[in-house]
Amino acid sequence: MNNNQIEYNDNFEFFPLEWDTNYFGVNSAKVILKDIIDEKNQHQILKLCRYFEFVTILNNNNINENNLWITYNTKAFLVDINVQFIKNVKETKDIMEDNIYILNYYPKQNEILEVARSSFKYSRFFNDPYLETEKAKNIYSYWVECSFNREDKYFVTIERDKQIAGFLLFSKDKRNKNATIELIAVCEKFRGQSIGKKLVYALEDYCYNNKLSKILVGTQVNNINAVRFYNSCGFLYKNCNSIYHYWVNR
């Protein structure tokens, strides 16, 4: 398999992960299981895995049959149950403030990086003993840093007292008319002031005005505060996915 090649059929999709490879320094790939994987496709997936050191296996909808063959036929281990939420966009009124901004090509802001460094306590990368602790710890701030000055990445920010009180990072899928929240974080100093909700409502207002009909977001099942937050913002449960890490040669 070519390291830039994508393999897919009706049941699975397999592709290299350039970002993960560069960040962690290990040859990485991802396989998305879209339906029950039969024995023939199981062999094909395991064959593809041999070209990589580290493979993330995403079992869409937490399909039991797939959980079983992963457990019995690989050394992969469960690192996360990811809960997906969806919100239908509606017109919002009187929620925008003068100090809320939505931009792509957002220039690098150390304030935002600092908020990212201090905000995220849940991640599948924290649950993998084979990944460098510092790499896992800093992955979200690096994610944000890589999103600055990009056409396809959008930041929603709120300023209070002349500093960044919180941010939301999202991307758009114009073909499917949706926006996906990638990250959301609030500076510790400003927590408890509904900053997170204001960020979400500002995004919803943007989506309404740009003819995007849905907002998608995912979080870890054990991140109870995030689950409650999305529910309080009007998001509904969509599905959950089990995620495994497979270190091929360990």
The yes-or-no verdict on residue 1 having pLDDT over 60 is no
Per-residue pLDDT tens digits for 28-78 = 999 999 999 999 999 999 999 999 999 999 999 999 999 999 999 999 999
pLDDT score of 95:
62
Angle (CA) 200 150 148, round 5°: 70
Percent of the chain with pLDDT over 70: 96
Residues 6 or more apart from 238 whose CB is under 8 A from it? 84, 85, 86, 216
Mean pLDDT of 143-171: 96
List strand residue ranges (DSSP E) for 25-99, in order: 28-33, 54-59, 77-88
Please, which pLDDT band fits residue 92 given cuts at 50, 70 and 90?
A: confident
The yes-or-no verdict on residue 4 having pLDDT over 70 is no
Residues 6 or more apart from 153 whose CB is under 8 A from it? 104, 106, 147, 169, 170, 171, 182
Angstrom distance (rounded) from CA 51 to CA 27: 8
Q: Note whether 69 and 36 are within 8 A (CB).
A: no
Q: How large is the greatest C-alpha to C-alpha distance in the chain, in angstroms?
A: 60
pLDDT score of 105:
96
The yes-or-no verdict on residue 215 having pLDDT over 90 is yes
pLDDT score of 8:
86
Q: Please provide the average confidence, as pLDDT, over all residues in the chain.
A: 93
Percent of the chain with pLDDT over 90: 86
